[in-house]
Structure 1
Amino acid sequence: MTTKRKVEVFSAGCPSCQTAIELVNRLACGSCEVSILDMNDINVAKRARDLGVRSVPAVAINGQLASCCSGSGIEEQALRWPRQA
């Protein structure tokens, strides 16, 4: 018996997310169980935070954030305007 691979796609419904969903569905193997999760759902957002999702789209496989999705995301310091002396 083949073990199922749990693939979770975290999406906000944007065009970039749709492209990621299409890619995951195209690459999914016969033993993959793909779930598309809406980040507008508070429980999904909590799950994403627990996995370390910092931006969407993001993909987790068997409960681990995929390496392509583990970037640092938005950093507060990078968004601050330079302070003038």
Structure 2
Amino acid sequence: MQNQNKRKIEVFTAGCSVCEPMVEMVKSMACSSCEVIIYNLSQPCDMKECLEKLQEYGIKALPAIAVNGSLLSCCQNKEISMEALKNAGIGQAA
């Protein structure tokens, strides 16, 4: 019955110096009701579970965090788009 009260926190990282402080922050904040799972995408994962979860959650940038199966709003819509690049002047003569 205790598992029903657990909060499942999935952390997606590239194992880099940008991701590691976020991973450590999550670990330090986790309580006894938290189950923290780290997916280091710089290493192969068993049965491709981490790659399936990337697609399922729509993760476009790392680091990213999902709690109880939902990608946090701070981790959404970070995709580099052609529109954003054009708006920055990329591909346009000065």
Give the TM-score category using the shorter length: 0.7 to 0.9
Letter in 1 for 2:64: A
% identical equivalent positions: 39
Aligned match of 1:15: 17
Per the TM alignment, residue 39 of structure 1 is displaced from its structure 2 partner at its CA by 1.9
Partner of 2:37: 35
Q: Find the structure with the greater CA-based Rg.
A: 2
Q: Aligned partners of 1:25, 1:69: CA distance in 2, in Å? A: 17
The count of corresponding residues between Structure 1 and Structure 2 is 84
Secondary structure of 2:60's aligned partner: coil
The alpha carbon displacement at 1:71 in A equals: 3.1
User: Could you give the per-residue CA deviations for residues 11-46 of structure 1, whole angstroms, max 9, x where no partner exists?
Assistant: 111111111110100111211000100224472123
2:68 corresponds to? 62
Task: For residues 26-75 of structure 1, give each alpha carbon's deviation from its aligned partner in whole angstroms, at most 9, with x where no partner exists.
Answer: 11121100010022447212311210211000000000001221133211
Q: Compute the TM-score of the two structures, normalised by the length of structure 2.
A: 0.76
Q: Which segments of 5 or more consecutive residues in structure 1 lack a partner in the other structure?
A: none
TM-score, normalization by structure 1: 0.83
Equivalent position SS for 1:77: helix
Query: Residues of 1 paired with 2:70 and 2:27: CA distance?
Result: 18
d(CA) in 2 for partners of 1:8, 1:17: 13
Q: What runs of 5+ residues in structure 2 fail to find an aligned partner? A: none
> Which ranges of 4 or more aligned residues in structure 1 deviate by more than 4 Å?
none
